[in-house]
Amino acid sequence: MFNPLEHPICLEFPLWQAETAWAEHVPLAMFLISAMRPEVFVELGAFRGFSYCVFCQAIKSLKIETRAFAVDTWEGDDHAGKLEAGVLAELRAHHDPLYADFSRLVQSTFDDALKHFADRSVDLLHVDGFHTFEAVQHDFQTWLPKMSEKGIVLFHDTNVRERGFGVWKFWANVKEKYPHFEFLHGYGLGVLAVGGETANELKFLFKAGESETQLIREFFYQLGSRIKAVREFHAQECRIEGLENRVKALESYKQIVRDSKTMRLYRILKTDGVGGLMKKGIKKVGQNE
């Protein structure tokens, strides 16, 4: 049975604070690296790099001999949203100093990247690309030959049924063919054992009864919720700080406008009329600026 005391890595907070819908699954990602000790990890669809850097963080913290690869065009898509220029450079600035000795950011389509991986070589695969049924099915089918005997495939957004998302439909079909476990929080995350030699420390997931399933889900939900809560708190602080800065800027602008030559002329006209303006003299007002 799962003993969280054997995997304290689950309690680590993520270092990379990019925008993400994956925050609640951080503890599970940390646990999977600890339990599996994969030799090769691949993520299809890194987006801003949050989930990928979480896996890399666990690999580095645990000092595991893992080679990791994030595959993405870094252009975005209609489901995740389009990515602005500079996202990959920003990700590299965080990633390279910490993880470049074992990790690569591969700017490529998923299909083009296939040729760089030997069959039966990937232990852990995270599929998080375009989320239509057809796209997820294609990604799974084309990468399945690359999975090792202890292979585990993760599918994000198994609990989303809107905006053309089809992961839930694909998951409903594929889970009938392999040992599986699904987490419902954080938009859903499916865990699929596609190899014949599942790591001993993961078998409890695929053998869990109804009551055990509820406990496992609750455990990782509670840990994930605190990650999400802390991120939201910091985001709120940043919004407040940004608002305060905007208020200060407006106050500064207001002061500049109030003391300007134009406003001083306006106040003279309003109070003393044209005669007062002529009496004080425009030239004198200008000299007082």
Find which of 76-80, 84-88, 135-139 is predicted with most confidence, using mean pLDDT.
135-139
149 plus 277 within the same structural domain: no
104 plus 65 within the same structural domain: yes
- Residue % of the chain over a pLDDT of 90: 66
Strands (E) across 100-251 are located at 103-107, 122-127, 147-156, 180-183, 189-193
pLDDT, residue 256, reads 54
Kindly state whether residue 277 falls inside one of the protein's structural domains.
Answer: yes
Q: What is the pTM of this model?
A: 0.79
pLDDT, residue 285, reads 45
158 plus 267 within the same structural domain: no
Give the residue-averaged pLDDT of 197-225: 94
State the sign of the Cα–Cα–Cα–Cα dihedral 23, 107, 70, 44.
positive
227 plus 264 within the same structural domain: no
The residue to which tokens 């390279």 are assigned = 96
Kindly state whether residue 254 falls inside one of the protein's structural domains.
Answer: no
Number of structural domains, the chain? Answer: 2
pLDDT band at 75 (very low <50, low <70, confident <90, very high): confident
Residue 86, pLDDT above cutoff 50: yes
Residue 61, pLDDT above cutoff 50: yes
8 A C-beta contact, residue 46 and residue 19: no
Other CB atoms within 10 A of residue 218 CB: 11
46 plus 141 within the same structural domain: yes
168 plus 273 within the same structural domain: no
pLDDT, residue 17, reads 85
Looking at 184, 211, 231, the residue that finishes a domain is 231
Write the DSSP string, 220-259: HHHHHHHHHHHHHHHHHHHHHHHHHHHHHHHHHHHHHHHT
pLDDT, residue 51, reads 96
pLDDT, residue 65, reads 96
CA 123-26-232 angle, 5° bins: 155
Kindly state whether residue 241 falls inside one of the protein's structural domains.
Answer: no
Strand-strand pairing, 67-72 and 189-193: unpaired
pLDDT band at 171 (very low <50, low <70, confident <90, very high): very high
89 plus 15 within the same structural domain: yes
Q: What is the CATH number of the domain that holds 182?
A: 3.40.50.150
Give the structural domain span for 267.
260-289
Kindly state whether residue 240 falls inside one of the protein's structural domains.
Answer: no
226 plus 272 within the same structural domain: no
170 plus 288 within the same structural domain: no
CA distances from residue 161 to 63, 114, 122 in whole angstroms, order as listed: 38, 29, 29
215 plus 277 within the same structural domain: no
Kindly state whether residue 244 falls inside one of the protein's structural domains.
Answer: no
Kindly state whether residue 250 falls inside one of the protein's structural domains.
Answer: no
Kindly state whether residue 282 falls inside one of the protein's structural domains.
Answer: yes
Kindly state whether residue 246 falls inside one of the protein's structural domains.
Answer: no
114 plus 189 within the same structural domain: yes
Computed over every residue of the chain, the mean pLDDT equals 86
Residue 286, pLDDT above cutoff 50: no
8 A C-beta contact, residue 132 and residue 165: yes
Looking at 191, 211, 231, the residue that finishes a domain is 231
268 plus 199 within the same structural domain: no
